[in-house]
Chains A and B, each alone.
Chain A
């Protein structure tokens, strides 16, 4: 199959100056020597390290909070070729506090192209290829094949399994980072015979409702910065083959910015029965090519969310335009306090869904035969809240389909986006 990357030029390596010109012997051109001198001065790096680095290709998947700092350090260090892969998101103003490769001027622009522009400003000699398609199971092998090292800077479970399975199949070292809130994690997979893959450590995915995202749970900007930067360190160690370097495999770094504690934990070795990198007892379970594996059902399995049957009995956002109805009802916004404090609809009080079960009795005593109207950001938690209330015997509760997002779209475009 043709590579989704098209024709990639062969890696040239850093330009070496002609030997003995005007009686001077030098390893690289003046520009290269000057630009990379501080890392070449390093005892274990040197000219040879720079040469190896310039002949390696690194793929950064995800141009967000992890991918920006990782790619910026890799491009500035002189990696031979850098691939950027992102699912075609455009830069949003709410990305900028952490996705430092983008600027206010690039809000609305394609993330891959915006990041590439930043990298070219830092190091105009960089060789950068971009694809705004994201990693897909179908093309995972072809997308990863042309690269020596892969960085997982994505933000979702499905991509993490696809990337790891493809790296396991191709035995490509995978530098995996993640961050949310004040915490980050880092590990390197598949970099040696004994090194496990992501699936060795996590054979089953978490239930979808246990997975937070930076968009909903929030994140302190520099926390993914710390982890993305550490991913660049690991990638440079691998690419330059730095002597004596110990890559973070069979280990995981846990960083907690809130307490400023860093721990390194020891992980198991490669599993002999891993579906991706071992030989499972039932050989039909073996994942040879991610294209043949159904990641959608795999990551959805084990959901413990309340199934949303129908929208019957739920309110359209436009129902909130009826001021009289709101006035007579008990209106509860079940988002976390931090979100409620940022913006809310007048007349709503805040009882976060995590505190709701404690408040049920109070609500029951207070509500009488009043209607209860529940709202949240997108209409998922509020539906859960309705079913919690029904279970507790509170019958007259309903919620708003699509939550505050729908309110903004259908009724009040002035309501803040966050």
Chain B
């Protein structure tokens, strides 16, 4: 197993029992796309579509790999390493 830190904010934490930060053991050799699918199946109990369609994150969610926009790191193809911090941030629209 690989141990990573998962962060949820902007309302996404409501999908994982209100937890904003989780230290989580996940299967080895996952890509980030694989991690999204794994979170969807293993951590999210209901309203899965608010998180992703399979391995595709829903629009309006920023994904960060160690505080950096995942666009700069290869998005779903990024290979997870032990100790990585992956953040899922829903954009806010209120004002």
Residues on A close to B: CB < 8 A? 62, 64-67, 153-157, 160, 177-181, 183-185, 201-207, 210-214, 217, 219, 224, 252, 254, 256, 259, 263, 265-268, 302, 304, 354, 357
Contacts and interface: CB of A to CB of B under 8 A. Distances in A.
Contact of A210 (B50, B69, B71, B89): B50
Nearest to A217: B94
B49 A178 contact: no
B58 interface: yes
B11 A302 contact: no
A254 B95 contact: no
Contacts of B72: 266, 268
A179 B92 contact: yes
B11 A212 contact: yes
Count chain A CB atoms within 10 A of each CB in B14, B58, B59, B68 and give the residue with the most: B59
23 contacts: A153-B95, A160-B93, A178-B91, A179-B94, A179-B95, A183-B92, A184-B92, A202-B59, A202-B91, A204-B59, A205-B60, A206-B90, A206-B91, A210-B50, A211-B60, A212-B92, A217-B11, A254-B9, A254-B89, A256-B9, A263-B67, A265-B87, A354-B14
In this complex, the member of A179, A201, A210, A302 whose beta carbon has the largest number of chain B beta carbons within 10 angstroms is: A210
A266 B67 contact: yes
A212 to B, nearest CB: 6
Contacts of B58: 206-207, 210
A102 to B, nearest CB: 14
B62 interface: yes
A206 B62 CA distance: 11
Contacts of A155: 93-95
Contacts of A185: 10, 91-92
Contacts of B91: 178, 185, 202, 206
Given A183-B10, A266-B68, A213 B94 contact: yes
Interface of B: 9-11, 14, 20, 46, 49-50, 58-62, 64, 67-69, 71-72, 87, 89-95
B14 to A, nearest CB: 7
B45 to A, nearest CB: 8
A-B pairs with lowest CB-CB distance, top 10: A206-B60, A180-B94, A204-B59, A155-B95, A268-B71, A178-B92, A214-B94, A66-B95, A304-B49, A267-B69
Given A252-B62, A267-B69, 14 more contacts: A65-B95, A179-B94, A181-B11, A185-B92, A202-B59, A204-B59, A206-B60, A207-B49, A210-B11, A212-B92, A212-B94, A263-B67, A266-B68, A304-B50
A259 B95 contact: no
Contacts of A180: 11, 92-94
Nearest to A304: B49
A154 B95 contact: yes
A214 B95 CA distance: 7
B69 A265 contact: yes
Nearest to B10: A183
Contact of B94 (A178, A259, A354, A357): A178
Contacts of A217: 11, 94
A73 to B, nearest CB: 16
A201 B59 CA distance: 10
A307 to B, nearest CB: 14
Contacts of A183: 9-10, 92
Nearest to B60: A206
Contact of A67 (B10, B62, B93, B95): B95
Contacts of A156: 93
Contacts of A268: 69, 71-72
Nearest to A61: B95
B50 to A, nearest CB: 6
